A and B are shown apart, each in its own frame.
Chain A
Amino acid sequence: MSATIADPPRASDQPARRQPVALVFCCTILGAGAQVLMKTGANHMAPGLLGMITNLWLMGGYCLYGISTVLLVIALKDGELSLLYPVIALTYVWVTVLSFLIFHDQINQWKLLGIALIMSGVVVLGKGGRR
């Protein structure tokens, strides 16, 4: 761990266009995981502020959000904001799929169409190059 911090990859000198997009991709998976943990935490939460703080699911969700934000910042170091920020919408895709699998929320044509549109949008943005 410390070795990677002391010796950052030199790739940043010549930013590969896809690397920041891949980082944001990981961000969205962590962000969706965070929301699932928070939902689980909210489902069995003791009342009051103490109940919130001692809720491990909820705190786990916040931790994942923290890690996801750090990844986003690392991606933004080399990537363009206008290109990377919309990719975060992938979180909606994972959350829709996960809430179907875990919480048995219903999926309908609108959600499927939305998932397809978001994914195609991300493919367009991720397809390297501003040219």
Chain B
Amino acid sequence: MKTPVSHMLLVLVASIFGSIGAAFLKYGAQELRRGWLHLFNWRLATGVALFLISSYFFVLGLRPPGELSVLYPMVAVCYIWTLIWSRIFFKEPFTRQKLIGLLLIVAGVCCVGAGGR
């Protein structure tokens, strides 16, 4: 395994930014209930900005010698952060269905990464 820890940390930072971005999209999406023109609000703008920052860190982490097979599982951690934010900020319940679905998807993303050597 040649992927340096610094690259793993970069991807981890990317996943945290990405998950917070997703939380801001959800936060801003609720504005849409007041009408379609509310598509342009600061919450959604913040979400999109966080996604851009996240993709920047992701690209930095994927530069050689970063290996996709090692780094993809760390991207999948993003879904777990999102589950936590959903619980804390939007009071969405943890359910067995979500947990099973999430675990299958995380495992799947890891496998796709493993096949990407």
Q: Which residue of B lies closest to A92 (CB)?
A: B112
- With A70-B39, A73-B29, A77-B32 as known contacts, state yes or no: A114 contacts B115, CB within 8 Å: yes
User: Bound state CA distance, A69 and B55, in angstroms?
Assistant: 14
B103 touches A121 (CB 8 A): yes
Q: Which residues of B contact A112 (CB under 8 A)?
A: 115
Q: Assign chain A's interface to a size class.
A: 35 or more
A81 touches B112 (CB 8 A): no
Q: Which residues of A contact B2 (CB under 8 A)?
A: none
Chain B interface mostly helix, strand, loop or mixed?
helix
Q: Assign chain B's interface to a size class.
A: 35 or more
- With A81-B85, A82-B83, A109-B115 as known contacts, state yes or no: A73 contacts B44, CB within 8 Å: yes
Asked if B111 lies at the interface with its beta carbon under 8 angstroms from chain A, I say yes
Q: Which residues of A contact B112 (CB under 8 A)?
A: 92, 96, 110-111, 114-115, 118
Interface-central residue, A81, A120, A127, by most chain B CB under 10 Å: A81
